[in-house]
Amino acid sequence: MDERRGEQQGAGSHPPIASAGSTLPPAQQAWSRYVTHRLDCLTCQDIDAGPCGESERLHRVWLGLSNRALDQIADKAN
Ligand SMILES: [Zn+2]
């Protein structure tokens, strides 16, 4: 059990998927952090608990990075 806790703490700074040799784009890293938080967070899993500030923050970060990535794609297309 202690080993599992250690892995989860390490997952915050380095997403597990990114350690497979390839680096995920920032937007996908942000989405991974958001989904991981939603799965682990008791507030997010309790529909009566109200909005989770950390979840909203992670979602905003993902939205910002996604919009920036889309802008870059649009710039290259023009
Ligand atoms: Zn949460």
Alpha-carbon distance of 12 to 54, in angstroms, equals 13
Cβ-based neighbours of 7, under 8 Å, separated by 6 or more: none
5-16 tens-digit pLDDT: 544 444 455 555
Q: Is the pTM of this model over 0.95?
A: no
Q: How far is the CA of 67 from the centre of ligand 1 (A)?
A: 23
CA of 76 to the centre of ligand 1 (A): 36
Of 77 and 12, more confident:
77
CA distance 14 to 25: 13
Distance 52 CA to ligand 1 centre (A): 5
What percentage of the chain reaches a pLDDT higher than 90? 63
| pLDDT per position as a tens digit, 24-52 | 889 999 999 999 999 999 999 998 998 99
Distance 51 CA to ligand 1 centre (A): 8
| Average model confidence (pLDDT) across the chain | 82
